[in-house]
Amino acid sequence: MRERGWLNWAMHAGFYLLLAASALRLVTRHDMGPRTVASLAVAGLLALAYVLGVALWSRLGRRRLVWLGGVAAVWLALVVLAPSFSWCAVPLLFLCLRSLNARGFAVAAAALTLVVIAAQLKIAREVDLSLVLAPIGVAAMTVVIFWELQRESAARQLLIDDLISTRGTLADSRHRTGILEERERLAREIHDTLAQGLTSMGILLQAADRVWASDPELAHAHVRRAAAAAEENLDEARRFVRDLQPPGLVDVSLPEALARLCASAGDAAGPRIRFRREGAQYALEPDVQAALFRVAQGALANVRDHSRAGTATVTLSYLDGEVTLDVFDDGVGFAAPTPAPGRGYGLRAMRDRLAEVNGVLVVESVPGEGTAVAATVPTECPRSARTGVADGATSRGEAR
């Protein structure tokens, strides 16, 4: 238990003040006979023993009890020689409180009080009840004050320990949260790169297998596209391991990256995909561009894998205060999103990505009428961009 430093030093100073006051009273009221000289010598020995214990307190360890017993014995001998030194019992009571358990302290407090009462009765000219009650009252007040200070110190230490424990628990919780977030990030990256790339390669290779005998040239074209998809997918994997932007966004703007994505996603084995940009283009944060690009990748993967659509349109709109990405297909649609076993991570991954940039995702679909996926992200549109004219040109990379 940690006591207050100022209280320790106050008690030490009080001990020496009481010792000096008792010695001064002894010298002024008695002649310098052998008893007085012996009393002063014992008082000096007590002062030396006390200061050695204070100086070596941290080194004494369990030997503090031995030291405390020696100091108490020297003080008792001094009181026998000169009863006026009895009031040094108050600082000694504090030492007992620091060094003894509750039962030992109670015994020590009772013994010290009895010694003080006996000393006061010995030097009193007339026996008075106050000579008994005063030491008891002083001892009781001292004990209560010390115990209250100890209780406050213990409560404060308990609070500190709780705070340290809570801080450790919070750090562990943050660590676990960070691990879960990193797992979620990796899951999204794997879904948007490896899983979609492997699916695309599978579709192309299946298409090549179907026409291998009847149209070898078309089959070879499908195989070449699958090889290109494998190379691009490998590049994607390397980059997300290094936590970089999608390769489609390296050194190009978001509209250019989306146009290339639409051109590469639309082939003979899937729907024709068009890209449109509307509104005057303005700068977007890199994380916003990456989120919208990944949403487009995921939405087009769903179009290719599930919609059975003939055409799809990707529209990037730069509006006042927000940017939107719409992916519409004319496929079979659905009444409710019911993914096949082991699938269905795509929409959740899109929503999670957009949530990281304060965006939202809306999916609308009617059976037989196609599906529309709309992603919206708030932005700070520059004033110069608000006067731009909508650009509705179809991407040059539109698949044929």
Q: Summarize pLDDT for 189-227 with one digit per residue, the tens.
A: 666 666 767 777 888 888 888 888 888 888 888 888 888
pLDDT at 259: 92
CATH H-level, domain 245-385: superfamily: Histidine kinase-like ATPase, C-terminal domain (3.30.565.10)
Residue 393 is predicted with a pLDDT of 40
pTM passes above 0.75: no
DSSP state for residue 394 in the 8-state scheme: B
Mean pLDDT of 12-33: 84
CA within 13 Å, CB half, 202: 9
Is the confidence at residue 371, as pLDDT, over 80?
yes
d(CA 70, CA 72): 5
Residue 390: what are its φ and ψ, rounded to 5°? -60, 135
pLDDT at 399 over 50: no
**Does residue 346 surpass a pLDDT of 80?**
no
Distance between CA 328 and CA 365 in Å, rounded? 10
Mind listing the pLDDT tens digit for each residue in 270-300? 788 999 999 999 989 888 998 999 899 888 8
User: Are the C-beta atoms of 38 and 194 separated by less than 8 Å?
Assistant: no
Q: What is the mean pLDDT of residues 65-83?
A: 88
Which range is least confidently modeled, 41-45, 92-96, 187-191, 363-367?
187-191
- pLDDT at position 269, please? 60
Q: Which residue has the higher pLDDT, 388 or 248?
A: 248
Q: How far is CA 356 from CA 119, 188, 209, 373, in A?
A: 80, 13, 41, 18
Within a 13 Å sphere around the CA of 277, how many CA atoms are in the beta-carbon half? 19
Q: Which of 278, 350, 363 is nearest to 315 (CA)?
A: 278
More confident residue, 355 or 251: 355
**CB of 70 within 8 A of CB of 52?**
no
What integer best gives the mean pLDDT of the chain? 79
Please give the angle made by the CA atoms of 78, 19 and 79, to the nearest 5 degrees: 20
- The whole-number pLDDT of residue 130 equals 73
- Looking at the predicted structure, is the pLDDT value of residue 380 above 80? no
Q: Is the pLDDT of residue 3 over 70?
A: no
Ranges of each domain in the chain? 5-127, 245-385
- Cβ-contact 121, 131 below 8 angstroms: yes
Note whether 229 and 197 are within 8 A (CB): yes
Please report the pLDDT score of residue 12 as a whole number.
82
